[in-house]
Structure formats: C-alpha cells, structure tokens
Structure 1
Amino acid sequence: MATCAFTTPLRVTEPPAHFMHSIISQNFTRLNASLALYIECERDLEQADCFDLAFTSWAADAERARAEVLERVAQITIAPVERPSDLPLKRAALLTRALIESESAEAFTSLYRLLDSYAHLFACRQHGAVGARVRQMLQTCHCHLEALAELGEFTDPGEGWDEAAPEASSLPKPLACAH
C-alpha cells in the first residue's frame, strides 16, 4: 500500500499573500517620508519672511530635509535589485534626485515630463501583494513629485518674460490726470 508524502511545501507555488520588503522598497518607503518632510520645509520657507528671526532655522531644516532625501536616494541607488518590482522604485528615486538637483526650471520641467513620456518605466506590472504595495509607493512618490513641481524653488518667475520686449524706459509714459 502506498502512502502519500508531500515533497514540496504547501503553497510554495502560490504568490505570497503578504508583502515582504526588499532593501530598495524599504528605503523607498523612507524616501517617501523624507520627501514629504522636505516639501513641507520648502513650503514653510516660501511662506516665511526672510527678516523673520526663525527664517535661518527653517532654512537649516529645509537643507537637512534635502540632505536626507538625497541620502535615501543614494541608499536606493547602491542597493541591489532583488525582484522586478524594485526597478521602477529605483528609477523613481533616480528621477527624484535629478529633479531636486536640477539647475533651472527648464531642466526640471524636461525631467518631470519623463514621468508621462516613459510611464511604463515608472510603473509596476507585477501582480499580487508585492505589486499592489509597490504601485502604492509609486503613486505616493508621484504625488510628492507633483507637489515638488508646484514649489517656487523649481519654477522661474521670470520665464514668462519676453527677451525681445522693449525695456520700460523706452515705453511711452502713461497719461496722468491733473486735478
């Protein structure tokens, strides 16, 4: 008589029912938190008056938050890719660094457009618990990048100026009513 013995552990061929962090996904979660703090610090600076006594501490907070974001990106950059869902996280982190370090509003805008132009590179196609969690992390990051794009630091107020426009001194003087 034959006895039934399982040689393969139960549910080994089924996808995991819960999410397990990789090194990249763990650091990416921390990156999202650091990025949110950086955005809040930058918003505080935008609303602050440079003559306010607390301005220097707010500026220092913003610099520390920026350094924290760049440190998290560096940790993600050097971490090995353990699974396919790590690739879009790594790409999003690299794009975040490039956006923060961009030199001009034009460079920022061209980099920011990469999210839409190459959306397939910043998307997770994996199914199951891992895919759902990674998609949520990417969505959070995209929301943070959208908020970053709205900050005054990354938009040039003089972009709308026309270089060929005549200077104010050459324009005719407005008529004034004398009472």
Structure 2
Amino acid sequence: MNIALAAYIEFERDLEHADCFDPAFLSWTTDAEGARAEVLSLSGRIAALPVQRREDLPLKRSAILTRAVIESATEVAFTDLHRLLGTHAELFACLDAGVTVIRTRQMLRICHEQIDAIAELGEFNDPVAAWAEQSSDAEQSALIAACAI
C-alpha cells in the first residue's frame, strides 16, 4: 500500500502545480483518480485481512486510517482523523521486539509520513471549514472503536 500511496501523493502534487482544468492535463487527473482508487482498494483489502500476528494490528489500523483520511468529507474531519496518529499513537505503533517488528516499524513510519504528506495537499484544505463549527467526536470515536480491534 505504501508504494500506491506514494504514487497517489505524487499525482496529486503534480495536479496542484498544473492547471487541472486544462484539457492537456486530463490524463493527469485520470492518473490521480486511478491512484486514489488503488490506495482505497488496497487499504480495504488490508483492513479485511485476518490478524495473524500482533504486528498486523498497527498495519491494519494504519490502513483503516489511511482510507478514512482520504475519504474524509471536510477539513475538520480530516484534521480529527490525522490527529489520531499523535493522540492515539499506541494504536498505530509496534512496541514489541524482533526482526519482524523492525520491518513493521519501517512500513508504519513510511505510511505515517505519507499520511502527513497527504495533509499538505491542497485537496484536503477546505476553505469553508474556517466558518464551520467544530465537529463532534462521533467520527473520531467511531474510528478509534474500529481500530481497537
């Protein structure tokens, strides 16, 4: 999923630097939409897989969070979800020891860096959010409950 997520971020960055409404860049938009669909598909498949090792839990939770962040409807919802990496870091970390854990930590670090990179994309900046009231904790609580598998 990390490779697909990196591709999605790059396509979105390219679109931010181009006139995405210009027909010359139509294929860029198509590529970005395809990359987004690929990330959502992979994150959904990861979330559906059974947990076989303790190391699978933070990977699964990160996939669920990635999907939720990308699909968030408002900047407030996005911010609430993105904040979970800090406020509930223990759910998205692998605290054990061993060779498998080292690789898992590397994958988690990359995934979390990419979620941070998504936060920098203009696509997730909602100008209306400045006027909106703070969201309830319902969406954040629902994700925390889902992650507490």
Report the Cα distance in structure 1 between the residues aligned to 2:96 and 2:17, rounded to whole angstroms: 41
In structure 2, the residue matched to 1:133 is 103
One-letter code of the match for 2:91?
Answer: L
Query: The residue matched to 1:48 in structure 2 has which SS?
Result: coil
Moved over 4 A (4+): 158-162
Q: What are the within-5 Å matches in structure 2 for residues 51-70 of structure 1?
A: 51-70=21-40
- State percent identity of aligned pairs: 58
Report the Cα distance in structure 2 between the residues aligned to 1:37 and 1:106, rounded to whole angstroms: 25
Please, which runs of 5 or more residues in structure 2 have no aligned partner?
A: 133-149
Please, which runs of 5 or more residues in structure 1 have no aligned partner?
A: 1-30, 163-179
Structure 1 residue corresponding to 2:13, chosen from 40, 43, 67:
43
Structure 1 residue corresponding to 2:54, chosen from 84, 89, 92:
84
RMSD of aligned C-alpha atoms? Answer: 1.7
Aligned residues: 133
Report the Cα distance in structure 1 between the residues aligned to 2:71 and 2:22, rounded to whole angstroms: 27
One-letter code of the match for 2:125?
Answer: T
Report the Cα distance in structure 2 between the residues aligned to 1:159 and 1:77, rounded to whole angstroms: 29
Query: The residue matched to 1:113 in structure 2 has which SS?
Result: helix
| Closer, same or farther: CA 50–136 of 1 in aligned 2, 3 Å | closer
Report the Cα distance in structure 2 between the residues aligned to 1:63 and 1:86, rounded to whole angstroms: 28
In structure 1, the residue matched to 2:68 is 98
How far did 1:161 drift?
Answer: 6.0
1:107 and 2:86 are equivalent in the alignment = no
When the two structures are superposed, what TM-score results if normalisation uses the length of structure 1? Answer: 0.70
Deviations 1:115-170 (A, max 9, x none): 101000000012111111000000000110000000001112354469xxxxxxxx
Deviations 1:7-37 (A, max 9, x none): xxxxxxxxxxxxxxxxxxxxxxxx0000000
Larger Rg: 1
One-letter code of the match for 2:40?
Answer: L
1:116 and 2:86 are equivalent in the alignment = yes
When the two structures are superposed, what TM-score results if normalisation uses the length of structure 2? Answer: 0.84
Higher helix share: 2
